[in-house]
Amino acid sequence: MNTVRLEDTIIAIATPPGIGAISVIRLSGSDAFEAIDRIFLGKSKIKNSKSHTIHYGKISDASEIIDDVLVSVFKEPNSYTGEDSVEINLHGNPLIANKIISLILNKSKVRLAEPGEFTQRAFLNGRIDLAQAEAVADLINSRTSVSLRGARNQLDGLLSSKIVDLRKKLVDLSSFTELELDFAEEDIQLIDRVDLIAKINDISDEIGRLIESYTFGKVIKEGFNVVLAGEPNVGKSSILNYLVRESRAIVSHIPGTTRDTIREEISIDGFLFRFYDTAGIRNTDEEIEKEGVERSRQAIKNADLIMFLGDVNVGFSKDLEIQLLELNPSVRLVKVLNKIDLGIKRDFNEDFKISALSGMGMMEFVDGLKTMAFSESTYTEKDAIVTNIRHMNCLVKAKEALLNSIKSVENDLSGEFMASDLRIAEMSLAEIIGEVTPEEILNNIFSKFCIGK
Ligand SMILES: Nc1nc2c(ncn2[C@@H]2O[C@H](COP(=O)(O)OP(=O)(O)OP(=O)(O)O)[C@@H](O)[C@H]2O)c(=O)[nH]1
Ligand SMILES: [Mg+2]
């Protein structure tokens, strides 16, 4: 989507490809009503209908009836896109949908919509801001109840209103500092410097709290990556199988069984956990196993948590522990002793004791996992939580600018510096909600949507 062409009327199928009870075609733009009226046989013309009404009728080509349909009418500005729009409910066969779309394309000045173009119009026409538009995509792509709730909150404007509020505080401050610049010659201070710094600090702290929420927000949206790591034969694959309740990975008494990294997702209390079973790490000359170990290392680098496994009779290799932490220095590592059904002979300073064979200790481990993923977060559903890396980057930029502005006040630099930093901070916040967002970024955001959304 290079240049925005709001004047075009666009069409797309809004339901997934394939067969279903019904499909929905969306049509939006100034010619939407005329376009549908050219092929729709109903009691009255759609053009003359009231907004938010539904009309039964038939779609017909000159020679044949294509389908009987329901047409919903939305008049601007009270539609999803803010434009005149219709939604056609038809029988859920892609052949019918394609016929209707071709018919409209042939008979009217309508073009196929690009991915996300309906939502982009909703944004450009001021129906929703950019963070809300992004939440639409998140809502559709959510795979757990928790991430769904996060997206819902963002779509409802929880984050946006927080950003708007912070931005307003900044604009209020800037109005003083900009005014001071106007009277620079007279050297007037309209706002006391101690007071000014305190106010900037308050805003910066609030932004800081949003930045911190991203650790939690990322887990909400993307899930939590747990890598099962350890020496060969400690029972990594057995644990994966236990967690997913199926024989997903091959288990054998022969060390070096797992080669490929195996990924499985499970939802625990509505949170998405992604488990990676990896090849046991050891020095080997066997070519395939070597590659397996390399893949283990890659998985470990991307882990949020390493589940470091030890055998009840052997414990944990200090050497391997060091290697794991070298690969991912910021990761949380928990020591889990497996095979306790064989009897515990000594203490290895482990965090958890389990048996993949009998299930002993597994409940406690899974409970522990939830705590480890979320304990540090003191965020509740009602808090604005940042789940999007783009927002996160804008917030970091804003905070940096605020810290710079404080520095220039403390160093008694010319007011220009502080005013300019406050402006940068304000612009960075505005970028989150799409008020000063470069077109390239906008295109990038909407191109990731599905067609018809
Ligand atoms: N007694 C007992 N045996 C277990 C337990 N977990 C795994 N085993 C056995 O230990 C052996 C190795 O199990 P795997 O799950 O294949 O071990 P792994 O860590 O995936 O091994 P590699 O893929 O070779 O690195 C198998 O014979 C399992 O049946 C357990 O909790 N108790
Ligand atoms: Mg294995």
Q: What SS3 string covers 194-216?
A: HHHHHHHHHHHHHHHHHHHHHHH
Q: Is 252 in the pocket of ligand 1 (CB under 6 A)?
A: yes
- Position with higher pLDDT, 380 vs 274: 274
CA 300/CA 225 separation, integer angstroms:
9
Percent of the chain that is helix, strand, coil (3-state, to 5): 45, 20, 35
> Which residue lies with its CA nearest to atom 16 of ligand 1?
251
Q: Which residue carries 């639409």 as its tokens?
A: 136
Ligand nearest to the CA of 255: 1
Closest ligand 1 atom to residue 258 Cα is 23
> How many Cα atoms are found within 13 Å in the side-chain-facing hemisphere of 217?
24
CA 112/CA 122 separation, integer angstroms:
17
Contact yes or no for 292/326 (Cβ under 8 A)? no
Q: How far is the CA of 140 from the centre of ligand 2 (A)?
A: 35
Mean pLDDT in residue range 394-406 = 97
Say how many C-beta atoms besides its own lie within 10 A of residue 364's C-beta: 12
Closest ligand 1 atom to residue 360 Cα is 31
Q: How far is the CA of 123 from the centre of ligand 1 (A)?
A: 54
The residues near 52 (Cβ < 8 Å, ≥ 6 apart) are 72, 73, 74, 78
- pLDDT of res. 375: 62
The residues near 185 (Cβ < 8 Å, ≥ 6 apart) are none
Ligand nearest to the CA of 289: 1
Q: Is 328 in the pocket of ligand 1 (CB under 6 A)?
A: no
Mean pLDDT in residue range 98-119 = 96
- pLDDT of res. 377: 67
Q: How far is the CA of 268 from the centre of ligand 2 (A)?
A: 23
Q: How far is the CA of 357 from the centre of ligand 1 (A)?
A: 8
Contact yes or no for 90/96 (Cβ under 8 A)? yes
Q: How far is the CA of 296 from the centre of ligand 2 (A)?
A: 11
The residues near 273 (Cβ < 8 Å, ≥ 6 apart) are 223, 224, 226, 265, 266, 267, 369, 373
CA 84/CA 66 separation, integer angstroms:
24
Q: How far is the CA of 392 from the centre of ligand 2 (A)?
A: 37
Check whether 276 has a pLDDT greater than 60: yes
Q: Is 154 in the pocket of ligand 1 (CB under 6 A)?
A: no
DSSP letter (8 states) at residue 281: P
- pLDDT of res. 357: 96
Confidence class of residue 190 from pLDDT cuts 50, 70 and 90?
Answer: confident
Among 240, 216, 234, CA closest to 372 = 216
- pLDDT of res. 413: 84
Sheet strands (E) in 75-215: 85-92, 110-112
Mean pLDDT in residue range 273-302 = 95
Q: Is 120 in the pocket of ligand 1 (CB under 6 A)?
A: no
DSSP letter (8 states) at residue 63: S
CA 135/CA 154 separation, integer angstroms:
6
Q: How does pLDDT run across 243-253, given as a tens digit for each residue?
A: 999 999 999 99
Q: 77: cis peptide before it, omega within 30°?
A: yes
pTM score, two decimals? 0.83
Q: Is 258 in the pocket of ligand 1 (CB under 6 A)?
A: yes
